[in-house]
Chain A
């Protein structure tokens, strides 16, 4: 059973556009929601994370929006750049000691 559902599976965005990736979860015990970025041949690396007591977190061009009542959260990449082309995973964890990942979104930013 997929604990975290992620969409879309792939995304193509023009340079300068906004990339949006969505995730949903069911387990209300989750208390930490990170996003990971993975480049080809590399392991996933933490990009940005949020706790459920906050509705939004922004770091540079990356923003997480969190809707606790809907049990959904999303990643927004503003002014998308070709260097942002990667696979993005949302995740959820309890006390940061068990991480469940979405199936990933392959983002391609075209110049």
Chain B
């Protein structure tokens, strides 16, 4: 398996534009997590899904952020409209819960810069 795949690796956009980040979890994993990493706040859990269903989105900073998981192999995190303070590295991670579970496996991240 190639691991968790995120795209794009880098995104530069202008304030007010819509941004969509994409994630392909490891095949067979039933949990998917979206994290945001900044120097000030470290790794923040934004939302996580179990079997494609959003379980906890309390970490989503505001209504401008939304996430979907239409199937077991794909998830998106959308920011509309984007703001400079959204600039961060966004990570997707997946894990498998059965049989004692696994640790969270992370993708390489998407570095978002909003200018």
- Chain A residues with a Cβ under 8 A of chain B: 6, 32, 34, 36, 41-46, 49, 89, 91, 93, 95-104
Contacts and interface: CB of A to CB of B under 8 A. Distances in A.
The range of chain B's interface size is 20 to 34
A99 B55 CA distance: 13
Contact of A96 (B56, B102, B108): B102
A49 B42 contact: no
Given A43-B4, A95-B97, A100 B103 contact: no
B43 interface: yes
B101 A95 contact: yes
Q: A interface, by DSSP: helix, strand, loop or mixed?
A: strand
Given A99-B45, A101-B42, A43 B109 contact: yes
Given A41-B108, A96-B102, A96-B103, A101 B48 contact: no
A44 B43 contact: yes
6 contacts: A41-B108, A42-B108, A46-B103, A89-B43, A97-B95, A103-B43
Interface string B80-115: 000000000001010101001111111111000000
